[in-house]
């Protein structure tokens, strides 16, 4: 365990280098705090600005101006003096119950880098772990050839790869339209977009339209969606979906079957790209012990935070989509607010200075969140795609169906944690990231209670798998840790 004055001891660690993490690390370090920015990826940007420093897609109109904004966050980080350790997978964040020998309580961070593990100590952690795609459980979603639309966008950003062969996109939400638009710019083939946005969502969202009309991003989003609708085949009101493989339903994706107005249709497909919004990537916060709550509007769990992003665990704050979905611009401002509050808690700035400096960021955050309620309501996924039928796999790792979860409920399983014990549901390497929201909703629906009542998985470190060898060789001294970072 590193001690005070060690080079593996920092004032602040920021986990995740998307917009929230980049902005938080840059601001905190520019005010003189020692800051380490940790990220699993080898390049900064997070998922939204993935590969922004090195994407092979140099034609800027393909990925669009919102993507290239990410590059503007890198200069301030470079100039700030923050230490950036890419390729570092954080698998544990823990605040000990007792003070250290020097009377200070330091948060311990377990991370892996280049196949070796190490522990760092810090006084404050800002988790900027972002979002992940909401699970989209339909029959056949585990077949090779079925990917998340976000995954396809990563392939485009990092490698300039676009689908070839018969390609179907399905679902709802801004990212689906954005990706389709990017494919249009790149000249990629899309055979059809199956829009699963429920008809009644438009009615529910309408009262929120005035707010959305004030959003600075409205014009862009609408223009992009209209262009896609004009140039591509968009099939609306899709109420059921399944992906089919070869003869025995095995092998890889061959076709997509969808239901519209009560009638089934089949499309041949080599690639199916699914998307129905994003949810907070909360595994690390959850495993750290941060309290979380069910957000009925966004239909997801989110860690509980105050207006600065502070969680229920002292010294741990959250910024960006990991604390609730607000989008990239909101994340950036939330990162700055969390950094100011961390500086204040560390005694580097006074309360007044914190509040004064925060004013412009808070105003920008409010602007960025304008119209969000409209989008949340319009793009709330249909119940059929959140609470799937019995034959649909919900836990991809352990191959547990919705029917098996319902059967366990009938045997006395009252929530996701018992589902783990009954079924091994959520016990695979993904640690519930791909099934958690679904399992909560399936159990809630089966029991006839609210998702808030059934709760969520209690997640435990390591939040990302590590090898036994790494754990066994967990370095104890600075020299040992040095070796981890020498590569």
Partner 1 sequence: MTATALPRPDVIVIGGGLHGCSAALQLSMRGVRVLVLEKDHVARHASGVNAGGVRQLGRHVAEVPLSVASMALWHGIRDLVDDDCGFESHGQIKVAETEAELETVRARVAELNALGFTHEEVIGQEELRSLVPAIADHCVGALVSRGDGAAIPFRTTFAFRRKAIALGARFQEGGAVTRLARKGGLWSVETADGGRFEAPVVVNAAGAWADRIAAQVGEPVPLEVIAPMLMITARVAPFIKPVVGATGRTLSFKQFPNGTVLIGGGLLGRAVRDENRTELDFSQVSVNARTVWDLFPCMRGATIVRSWAGIEARMPDQIPVIGPSGTEPDLYHSFGFSAHGFQLGPIVGRITADLITGGATDLPIAPFRIGRFAA
Partner 2 sequence: MFRRLPEIETAAEKVSFTIDGRPAKARAGDSVAAALLANGVTACRNTPVSGAARGPYCMMGVCFDCLVTIDGTGNRQGCQVRVAPGMAVETQNGKREVER
Q: How far apart are CA 129 and CA 427, in angstroms?
A: 21
Q: Which C-beta is closer to partner 1: that of 91 or that of 258?
A: 91
State the nearest-atom distance from the C-beta of 39 to partner 2, in Å: 11
Q: For the sheet containing 192-195, what is the strand order?
A: 146-148, 271-276, 167-172, 192-195, 234-235
Q: Which residues are CB-neighbours of 444 under 8 A, at least 6 positions away? A: 450, 451, 453, 454
Stretch that binds partner 1, among 32-40, 121-129, 375-383, 470-478 (CB under 8 A): 470-478
Tokens at residue 208, please?
A: 């929120």
Site for partner 1 in 414-433 (CB under 8 A): 414, 418, 421-422, 424, 427-429, 431
Site for partner 1 in 271-290 (CB under 8 A): 289
Among 101, 468, 479, 487, binds partner 1 (CB under 8 A): 468
Q: How far apart are CA 225 and CA 301, in angstroms?
A: 28
Transcribe 207-247 into DSSP letters: GGHHHHHT-TTHHHHHHHHHHHHHHS-EE--EEEEEEE-ST
Q: Which C-beta is closer to partner 1: that of 109 or that of 279?
A: 109
268 in contact with partner 1 (CB under 8 A): no
Q: By the 8 A CB rule, do 340 and 351 touch?
A: no
Among 34, 108, 259, 353, binds partner 1 (CB under 8 A): 108
Q: Which helix (H) or strand (E) covers residue 301, if one does?
A: strand 300-303
Choose the one of partner 2, partner 1, none that binds residue 147, judging by a C-beta under 5 to 8 angstroms depending on kind: partner 2
Strand, coil or helix: what is 267? strand
449 in contact with partner 1 (CB under 8 A): no
Quick one: which of 195, 153, 200, 155 has its CA closest to 172?
A: 195
Q: How far apart are CA 167 and CA 193, in angstroms?
A: 9
Among 207, 264, 469, 482, binds partner 1 (CB under 8 A): 469
Beta strands in 327-438 (DSSP E): 393-395, 400-401
Burial 306-325 (b: 16+ CB within 10 A, else e): eebbbbebebbbbbbbbbbb
Q: How far apart are CA 394 and CA 281, in angstroms?
A: 18
Q: Which C-beta is closer to partner 1: that of 297 or that of 450?
A: 450
Checking DSSP bridges between strand 234-235 and strand 300-303, what pairing results, if any? unpaired
State the nearest-atom distance from the C-beta of 22 to partner 2, in Å: 17
C-alpha atoms less than 13 angstroms from C-alpha of 387 in its C-beta half-sphere: 15
Q: Which C-beta is closer to partner 2: that of 226 or that of 252?
A: 252
State the residues that interact with partner 2 by CB under 8 A: 40, 42, 47, 51, 54, 56-59, 132-133, 142-148, 150-152, 154-155, 158-165, 186-187, 250-253, 270-271, 281, 396-399, 428-430, 433-434, 464-465
Residue whose tokens read 């399905």: 170
State the nearest-atom distance from the C-beta of 100 to partner 1, in Å: 13
Sort 120 into a burial class: Cβ within 10 Å, 0-12 / 13-18 / 19+.
Answer: buried
474 in contact with partner 1 (CB under 8 A): yes
Choose the one of partner 1, partner 2, none that binds residue 414, judging by a C-beta under 5 to 8 angstroms depending on kind: partner 1
State the nearest-atom distance from the C-beta of 306 to partner 2, in Å: 27
410 in contact with partner 1 (CB under 8 A): no
460 in contact with partner 1 (CB under 8 A): yes
Strand, coil or helix: what is 132? strand
Q: By the 8 A CB rule, do 276 and 171 touch?
A: yes
Choose the one of partner 1, partner 2, none that binds residue 471, judging by a C-beta under 5 to 8 angstroms depending on kind: partner 1
Site for partner 1 in 119-148 (CB under 8 A): 119
472 in contact with partner 1 (CB under 8 A): yes
Within 10 Å of residue 442's Cβ, how many Cβ atoms?
31
Which residues is 264 bridged to in the sheet? 259
State the nearest-atom distance from the C-beta of 454 to partner 1, in Å: 12
Q: Which C-beta is closer to partner 1: that of 161 or that of 427?
A: 427
Q: Which C-beta is closer to partner 1: that of 130 or that of 426?
A: 426
Choose the one of partner 1, partner 2, none that binds residue 427, judging by a C-beta under 5 to 8 angstroms depending on kind: partner 1
Which residues is 192 bridged to in the sheet? 168
Q: Which C-beta is closer to partner 2: that of 365 or that of 425?
A: 425
Among 110, 245, 335, 436, binds partner 1 (CB under 8 A): 110
Among 461, 478, 480, 483, binds partner 1 (CB under 8 A): 461
State the nearest-atom distance from the C-beta of 474 to partner 1, in Å: 4
Binding site for partner 1 (CB under 8 A): 1, 92, 94, 96-97, 108, 110, 119, 289, 412, 414, 418, 421-422, 424, 427-429, 431, 460-462, 465-469, 471-474, 476
């Amino acid at each position: 365990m590193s001690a005070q004055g060690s080079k593996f001891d920092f004032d602040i660690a920021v986990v995740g280098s998307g917009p929230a993490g980049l902005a938080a690390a840059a601001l905190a370090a520019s005010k003189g705090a020692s800051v380490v920015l940790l990220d699993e990826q080898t390049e900064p940007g997070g998922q939204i600005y993935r590969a922004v420093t090195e994407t092979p897609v140099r034609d800027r109109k393909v990925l669009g101006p919102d993507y290239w904004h990410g590059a503007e966050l890198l200069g301030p980080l470079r100039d700030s003096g923050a230490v950036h350790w890419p390729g570092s997978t954080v698998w544990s964040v823990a605040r000990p119950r007792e003070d250290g020998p020097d009377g200070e309580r330091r948060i311990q961070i377990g991370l892996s880098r280049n196949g070796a593990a190490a522990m760092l100590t810090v006084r404050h952690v800002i988790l900027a772990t972002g979002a992940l795609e909401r699970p989209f459980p339909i029959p056949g979603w585990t077949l090779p050839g079925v990917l998340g639309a976000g995954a396809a966008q990563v392939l485009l950003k990092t490698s300039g790869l676009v689908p070839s062969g018969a390609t179907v996109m399905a679902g709802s939400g801004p990212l689906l339209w954005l990706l389709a638009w990017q494919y249009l710019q790149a000249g990629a083939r899309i055979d059809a977009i199956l829009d699963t946005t429920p008809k009644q969502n438009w009615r529910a969202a309408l009262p929120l339209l005035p707010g959305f009309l004030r959003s600075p991003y409205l014009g862009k989003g609408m223009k992009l969606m209209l262009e896609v609708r004009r140039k591509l085949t968009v099939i609306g009101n899709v109420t059921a979906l399944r992906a089919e493989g070869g003869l025995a339903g095995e092998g890889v994706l061959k076709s997509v079957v969808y239901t519209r107005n009560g009638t089934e249709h089949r499309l041949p497909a080599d690639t199916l790209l699914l998307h129905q919004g994003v949810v907070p990537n909360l595994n690390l916060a959850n495993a750290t012990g941060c309290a979380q709550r069910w957000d009925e509007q966004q239909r997801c769990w989110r860690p509980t935070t105050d207006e600065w992003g502070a969680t229920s665990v002292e010294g741990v704050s959250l910024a960006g989509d990991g604390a609730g979905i607000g989008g990239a611009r909101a994340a950036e401002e939330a990162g700055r607010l969390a950094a100011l509050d961390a500086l204040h808690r560390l005694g580097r700035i006074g309360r007044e200075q914190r509040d004064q400096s925060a004013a412009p960021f808070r105003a920008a955050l409010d602007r960025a969140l304008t119209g969000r309620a409209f989008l949340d309501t319009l793009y709330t996924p249909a119940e059929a795609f959140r609470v799937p039928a019995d034959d649909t796999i919900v836990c991809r790792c352990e191959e547990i169906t919705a029917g098996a979860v319902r059967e366990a409920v009938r045997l006395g399983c009252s929530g996701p944690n018992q589902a783990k014990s009954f079924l091994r549901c959520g016990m695979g390497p993904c640690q519930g990231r791909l099934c958690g929201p679904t399992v909560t909703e399936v159990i809630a629906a089966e029991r006839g209670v609210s998702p808030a009542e059934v709760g969520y998985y209690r997640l435990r470190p390591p939040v990302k798998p590590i090898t036994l060898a790494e754990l066994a060789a967990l370095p104890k001294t600075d020299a040992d840790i040095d070796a981890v970072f020498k590569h």
